[in-house]
Structures are given as C-alpha cells and as structure tokens.
Amino acid sequence: MTFPYKGYAGYYAEVDLTKGKIHKREMEKEWARLYLGGTGVAAKILWEETGPETDPLSPDNVLVVGTGPLTGVMFSPSGRMMFAAKGPLTGVWAESHVGGFFGPEVKYAGFDFVIFKGRSPKPVYLFLRDGTAELIDASHLWGRETDVTTDMIREEHKDPEIKTGIVGPAAENGVLYSSIIVDRYRAAGRAGLGTVLGSKNVKGIAASGSLGLEAYDMEKYLEANEIEMQRVCDPIWTESLTSLRKYGTTDLVAIINEIGRLPTKNHWTGFYEDADDIGPEIIAEKYRIAQEACHGCEVGCKYIYRVKDGRFAYGPAGGPEYETIMSFGSNCLNNDIESIFHLGTRCDLLGMDTISCGKSIGFAMELWEKGIIDKNDTDGLDLSWGNVDSMVELVEKIAKREGFGDILSKGVRKAAEIIGGDAWMYAVHVKGLEASGQDPRAHQSIGLTYATNVRGADHLRSLSSLEELGYPDIVKARFDDDKTEAILDIMSPKHKGEVVWDIEDLYALVDSAVICKYGTMWPPIYYFDTFSNVIAPLTGMDDWSNPKFVKQSAERINHLRRAYNHRLGITRKDENLPKRLLKEPMPTGPSKGGLPDLDEMLDEYYDYRGCDKETGYPKKEKLEELGLDYVVKDLGKRKMLAK
Amino acid sequence: MNNLLAIDVRKCTGCRNCELGCSTAKTKTFNPARSRIKILKNEQESTIVPMVCLQCEVALCVDACPTGAIVRNEHGTLYVYSDDCIGCGNCVTACIYGGIEIDPMTRKAIKCDLCSGDPACVKACDYKAIELVGSKADDFTRRAEGISRLSPVYIYEEKEAEH
C-alpha cells in the first residue's frame, strides 16, 4: 500500500451499480491531507462527479458514504459517519451525519469511503467484510422496514455483529426526504440521502470487520487524546453534560421553550404552552428505560424508551430526539407524547426524516386552518392542529406517496408550488429544506446559520451555542475582548457574522474528522486546537500540527461546498430566510417582538468568508490562497467569482 | 491482591470504549474484534451484555485445552501461552461465559489477563462500569451479581424497575 497515512483504513470502494462492478482503490493521499475525510473529501468527489446537469434521482448522481480519520479510533465521540450527494429535496449540496456503530465498522471492514455511481438493474445491498466488498441481491428485502431488513441481513450472514445503514419503503417509493437508518434507530435523516440510495436500487450497506486501525505514533496520539478527554472533565461543562446524560436531547424542549425559540404551530411562534407535556421530565419519569452511547462516546446522550400499554404501546426502541419531539409535537400543537414516540419510530422504520415529515404535516395543518385546503384535498382527513389520528394516518400515506401524502412527500417548497395561491407563505424552508427546531427571531445568529448553511435551513453547519449557554471565558478566548458583550447578547446581530464564520469553519473539521456536535457545539468544548493536537500523531500528516494549516483546511472545505452550490445557481438571494422568520415579529412568548437583522449579519459574514457582498461569490484571491485553483478556473468560466 | 473484573451492567451504555482500550493495549491497533472484552448488543431487546473472562476457580477452558496452553499464573490469573496454543477453539466451546476467543489475526486463543494488574478496559470505561477487585468473599459476590444480571430479561426488568 502506498497511501502513507494512518488512522485511515486506507481504501475506498467505487461501486458501479449499473454494471454491478466494484473497484477497490487506495485512498488518495491529497484527499486526506487537504480535505481530511467526511464532508471535505465528499465535497471534492461531488465537485468532480456532479454538477448543474446532474438530476439528483438519475443514475448520474453520486452518493458518498464517508468516514473520517477520527472515526473508530477511541477519540470521544468517534462513532460518527456521513453521507453526501446532490440533494433530491433541495437540488443543492446535501449531506447528513449519523452516530452509532456503523461508521467505525465500515473502517474495520477495510474502507474509509464508498462511492455509489449509476443505478443497479435490481435491488442490491453492499456488504463489506475485511477488505472485500460485494453486491448482494436484495429483492427479498425490498419493501421491508428498516429494523426487519437489518435482522434479515444479520441472519443471512449468521453474524449478529453486522452493522447496517438501511433505507426503508419511503426511499423506495421516492419520498424526497427519506433517511438512511443506522443500527435500527439512528438516522442520517436530513436532505433525502436515503431517496438517492433508493433511486439507485440500493437497499443499504452492511459491514462487519476485524481489520485494525493503526496510529502513526500511538503513544503520542493516546497522550493527545487523553488531554482532549480531560477538557471534557472541566467542571464548567458538568451541567450541560449531566443533562445530556440524564435526559439526552429531550432536555432541549424545556431549555429552548424557556427562551421562546421552540418552533410551535408551524413556526408561527417560539413558545409552546404545553411544552411540559412533551418535555424531559415526563419522558425520564414514564418512558425512558436505559441510557445508551455511540461508539467510544463518553457523553452517552441516546436513550431507549418503552410505551407499556395503550394504543401506542411499543418498545424498547431508540427514543425520539429533541428535533422529532419539536417537529411532531409543538410544531403541530400536539401534546400527546406517546403519539410522538409512535410517529418518530414509524419514521425510523419507514425511513423518513422526522423534521421534514413533521414540518410538512405542520405546514398542511396551517393551510387547513387558513382554509387554503379542505377535506376534498386531504382525502377526507381532518387536519386541525394536534389531530393525532390524522397525523398517524398521514405519516403512512406520505411514506406510500398515496393521495395527499404524495404532495407532502415532496417537502413544503414543492407542496406549496403544487397547492398554489398563498400556500408559499406558510412553507418554512431555506433552499427547499424544512427549517429545523430553531427560530432566528429568538436567537439572531441562527438566522445567519439557516441562510448560509449549504444544505438549507438547518442548524448543524454553524449553530453557535455561545450566546445561548453563555460561556464568557470561551467567548473571550475565541474572539476579541471588546466583542464579548455583544456576542453574548443573543438578540444582538453584532459580530455574529464573525461568530458564524468561525463556527462554520470549526464544524467543517468536525464533519470531516468525523466527530459529533456534542462536545463541539453543545457544550463548546473542542476547538481548532483539538484537531492540531490529535490529527498529526494519529495520521502522520505533519501539516495538521500547524494551526494555520488546520484553519485553512476548514476554509478550503467550506469554500468548496459553497462553490458547489454557486455552480448550481445559488447566490446571496438564496441565502435568505422564509418570510415568516424574517418579517413576522415573534407574536408570543419570552422572545416576543424579535426579528433577525439578516442583512447586517450576512454582510459581515461575507467579509470574513472572503466573498462578494452582492452575490455571495468567492474572491479569486481567497480561493487561490486555499489552493482551490481548479475552483477558480471553473467558476471563472461561469462568471461566478467576486467582481 | 486484585484479580477479578466486576462489571456493573446497569452502568454500561454499550459504547464499547473498553474494547478499544483493550485492543490498543494488546495489539497496538484500534480493533474491537481483537479485544479480550466484548460487548454484545441486541437493539431489539435493548440488552447490552459485557463479556470478559471471570478467572473461574474451576476453569472449563483449562480442562478443555489439549496442549495445556492455559495456565494459572502466580497471581491467580488464567493466562494463555500463545506458543503452546494450536488454535483448536476447544476452550471457546467450553467456556460458558464467552470469556475466551480466537484472535481473527493470529488464530490463537486470547483472553483477559488483567493487563498485569492495571486493566486498560477499566481506564477506558467512562461510565465506571468495570472495576478491578480482589479475591475476598465480598468480591466474589460482586462478580456473581454481575453474572446473574447478564440474563437479558433480568437486565431489562431491572433497568425498568429503577424508574
């Protein structure tokens, strides 16, 4: 093997589904050195393989399964991995990350990346074991739900240790926000990557491996790792971590409602009066039966629930996270927690993103309230707020793309186009992706995050928890002293362009390494120095011990993903917010009256990012400084560089 | 003298960091498949079962080994002499606790040797579920408790009973 770096498995599989052939190739040295792994490498691959002419659901689209150097090597948390492709829901860059045990297993099976191309003539799944990759007939699995499929694959190979990433019936049917479900109840949910796999006739990926991963300098790496782990033990994080361990992300329902940021009634407001009914205490008391952790994670935010009796009796199964509770709960004015468990689990089994699904239903409920749709449009369903029966039925109809469910299976942007009239006013999305469980009217910087996120209205590319959790010492250490006060003011737009720029760079590394947002975002423990400490001794890439190189790599990844979107036509006019979040002052709750000052923040962000304020296009010099000459050449031809 | 691992399954979150700690210490690689401690997980039943050698007083693996490769060393720890192991797997069949395995790379039997008194898995467990204990009557009791909790149904109901 000539690939020189450790920590990686050292190989990737290029799967030509049309021909049914797999090429096992050595990892590219420059992929690792310049783009690290995960989202960085995926950006490089998708930039080369897809573009404006690629139809996301055609054989031309390419789906990348990615891990990073920190996947599976004892860094806590190291159970993460990601998927990326051109998005079917949005038509732009799409990536989605997931925890559990599948990512590490892909590496132990001998692969850092899998690249799916073409379309298989019949249903297949990819099986990875100890350096070999094989396409196996999946006709008997087609149409099955994600848990059964995983059980059947394990049974087929007589190996209960097999880990899986599976798509459900929703993806097979072409629901545009289908997820990829890992190990039964963890989801790479957002942006419809499951739909892309389904369109390629791929039921999933299964991996089981006994190949080890080496470190370049094991002693030094473990030492550096230990220093990072000690950071987690700092008493300032105790409160946040204790809550994550005790409640998981369900605690956010209470915390976020308290500051008036909990999307309620299709984002009409940010305060839900019945939040206690769907909050952390009742879940911990009545339904939570165990704590779980992803591979090698010391946070352990996952929980297992069981509903003992009644109509929604089910479990044990992975409990719904904050976003799911928000989406099917407050967002639809539904305070029946047992129904939320049911809806979340059904989405996992059918393979659908709980955020986009719940948001699509909330959108329809508001259209019903406004009289834009009625029983004739909804196949007779009564879509009054909080109507659990209708929600339960609608989730099944969406997965089958049956009747009104078919319209909602396309997401709120396309559904609003189909329904017409004023429906667009209630479609809360950016770039076609339904907004996640935040609200910029209660937290300024989230407006900028939603607007600039390459995959659409979602918090995970750059959400800043600094002003929300309020860690003045951390803010002082990261930014100029005199900015501290304004940065810590959650409703001040001042310096938020810089903050979001900084955090977007940090998360580019988090998503390439690939590690979790718990520990980097919430609470904000790890920072750029984490990467300069651990990557070099692990991999042997000397450049990564240089903080300047680390920061530049982060910028390189961000600019490449942005350029990918520019090439598809995205400019400043698309880095915007839906009318509701930009123009309608928060009507009730603790953040009443709030509105984001998006333009001010965007101007500052573009400055820091090295982009033109009018178009959002990158400056030539910035790209050249980052070694992105091939991007300069391509965007130059398309007249997509800053003037 | 400390020569037993007592595991409190109620504290275990199934993160498998112990496997990583063990494989790092024993093989200088990150490779759960070569770890001497194993976490079995069944998502459907929500069970997490840690498995490691219990250093039995009457060791079934010792009796099963045709070459006498498994011996009790001076600390009372059951130890595999790799040179004498022929990889037949009799010990794996004999052990009813899943405490001994064949290394997928060397094809020889591997088991926990308590890292000469400083177990890597204990250090790697962030949830403090694994503890190195002595050989007093009380310690044996704790080991026995650990084992009795391994019945999946029992784990499930006990976790539930806490709430």
In which band, very low, low, confident or very high, does the pLDDT at B150 lie, cut at 50, 70 and 90?
A: low
Q: What is the CATH number of the domain that holds A603?
A: 1.10.599.10
Give the DSSP letter of residue A28: P
Residues A354, A455 share a domain:
no
Report the percentage of chain B scoring pLDDT > 70: 90
Torsion of the alpha carbons at B39, B108, A213 and A28, rounded to the nearest 10: -130
For residues B26-55, average pLDDT: 92
Q: Has residue A437 been placed in a domain?
A: no
End-to-end CA, chain B = 37
Maximum distance among all Cα pairs of chain B, rounded to whole angstroms: 51
Q: Evaluate whether residue A477 is within a structural domain.
A: yes
Domain hosting A417: range is 247-427
Q: What is the pLDDT of residue A135?
A: 98
For the segment A562-599, what is each residue's pLDDT rounded down to a tens digit? 999 999 999 999 999 999 999 999 999 999 999 999 99
Q: Are residues A401 and A485 in the same domain?
A: no
Q: Could you tell me if A395 and A474 lie in one domain? A: no
Nearest CA in chain B to A214: B29
Instruction: Please determine, for residue A86, whether its predicted confidence score (pLDDT) is greater than 90.
Output: yes
Confidence band for B148, pLDDT divided at 50, 70 and 90: confident
Decide which of A186, A208, A230 is a domain's last residue: A208
Distance CA A84, CA A69 (A): 17
C-alpha dist (Å) from residue A93 to A42, A83, A84, A431: 10, 11, 8, 10
Q: What is the CATH number of the domain that holds A279?
A: 1.10.569.10
Q: Which residue of A has its CA nearest to B159?
A: A289
Together in a domain, A382 and A260: yes
* CB-based contact A108 B160, cutoff 8 Å: no
Q: Distance (Å, rounded) from C-alpha A423 to C-alpha A435?
A: 16
> What confidence tier does B154 reach under pLDDT thresholds 50, 70, 90?
very low
Classified as helix, coil or strand, A320 is coil
Beta bridge partner(s), residue A307:
A314
Same domain assignment for residues A413 and A498:
no
Domain count, chain A: 3
pLDDT in tens, A317-329: 999 999 999 999 9
Asked if residue B45 lies in contact with residue B29, where contact means CB atoms within 8 angstroms, the answer is no
Answer whether residue A482 is part of any domain. yes
Per-residue pLDDT, B153? 41
Q: Are residues A20 and A133 part of one domain?
A: yes
What does pTM read for this prediction?
0.96
CB nearest to B27's CB, from A79, A212, A315: A212
Res. B143 pLDDT band, cuts 50 70 90 = confident
Report in angstroms the alpha-carbon separations of A199 from A16, A62, A266, A621. Answer: 14, 11, 30, 40
Query: How does residue A54 score in pLDDT terms, banded at 50, 70 and 90?
Result: very high
Question: How far apart, in whole angstroms, are the C-alpha atoms of residue A412 and residue A484?
Answer: 38
How does residue B76 score in pLDDT terms, banded at 50, 70 and 90?
A: confident
Question: Which chain B residues contact residue A286 at CB under 8 A?
Answer: 163
The answer to whether the beta carbons of residues A220 and A6 sit under 8 Å apart is no
- Is the pLDDT at A296 greater than 80, yes or no? yes
Return the minimum-mean-pLDDT range out of A34-38, B55-59, B64-68: B55-59
Q: How far is CA A241 from CA A281, A465, A600, A633, in A?
A: 16, 14, 34, 46
Confidence check: pLDDT of A414 > 70: yes
How many Cβ atoms are within 10 Å of A583's Cβ, its own excluded? 9
Which among A427, A460, A494 is the end of a domain? A427
Residues constituting chain B: 163
What pLDDT does B138 receive?
Answer: 79
Residue of B126, B152, B143, B141 whose CA lies nearest to B49: B152
B136/chain A closest Cα distance in angstroms? 31
What percent of chain A clears pLDDT 90, i.e. is strictly above it? 99
Mean pLDDT to the nearest integer, A28-33: 98
Contact B159 A289 (CB under 8 A): yes
Query: Are both A611 and A490 inside the same structural domain?
Result: yes
Query: If you count them, how many residues does chain A have?
Result: 643
Average pLDDT over residues A47-56: 98
CA-closest candidate to residue A360, choices A403, A404, A402: A404
Chain mean position to CA B56: 11
Q: Is residue A534 part of a domain?
A: yes
Higher-confidence residue of A441 and B143: namely: A441
Residues of A with CB under 8 A from a CB of B: 72-74, 76, 79, 101, 104, 108, 147, 151, 160, 183-185, 209-215, 218, 222, 284-286, 288-298, 300, 304, 306, 315-318
* Backbone conformation region of residue A624, classed left if phi is above 0, alpha if psi is from -120 to 50, else beta: alpha
A552 touches A533 (CB < 8 A): no
What is the pLDDT, as a whole number, of residue A131? Answer: 97
Pairwise CA distance, residues B90 & B71, whole Å: 15
pLDDT at B160 over 90: no
- DSSP tag of A126: E
Residue A113 has which token pair? 């990346």
Per-residue pLDDT tens digits for A168-192: 999 999 999 999 999 999 999 999 9
Instruction: Return d(Cα B47, Cα B41) in angstroms, integer.
Output: 6
Kindly list the residues of chain B whose beta carbon comes within 8 Å of any beta carbon in chain A. Answer: 13-17, 20-21, 23-24, 27-34, 40-46, 48, 104-105, 124, 126-127, 156, 159-160, 163
Mean pLDDT of A69-80: 93
Q: Is the pLDDT of residue B157 over 60?
A: no
- Quick one: CA torsion of A203, A15, A53, A188, rounded to 10 degrees? 40
- pLDDT over 80 (residue B89): yes
Whether residue B104 has a cis bond before it, omega within 30° of 0: no
Q: Would you tell me which CATH number, out of the four given (3.90.1150.200, 3.40.50.800, 3.30.70.20, 3.40.220.10), belongs to the domain B60-111?
A: 3.30.70.20
What is the predicted pLDDT for the residue at B2? 59
User: Is there a domain that residue A339 lies in?
Assistant: yes
**Best mutation site among B9, B15, B46 for testing chain A: the one with the most A CBs within 10 Å?**
B15
As a whole-number percent, the residues of chain A with pLDDT over 70 amount to 100
Residue B136 confidence (pLDDT): 76
Mean pLDDT of chain A: 97
Domain locations in chain B as residue ranges = 1-52+114-163, 60-111
**Mind listing the pLDDT tens digit for each residue in A90-134?**
999 999 999 999 999 999 999 999 999 999 999 999 999 999 999
Question: Are residues A305 and A169 both part of a single domain?
Answer: no
pLDDT by residue (tens digit) across A238-282? Answer: 999 999 999 999 999 999 999 999 999 999 999 999 999 999 999
What would the mean pLDDT of A48-67 be, rounded to a whole number? 98
Judge if A608 and A492 occupy the same domain.
yes
Q: Which of A74, A217, A225 is nearest to A537 (CA)?
A: A217
Binned at pLDDT 50, 70 and 90, residue B155 comes out as very low
Q: Is A402 part of any domain?
A: yes
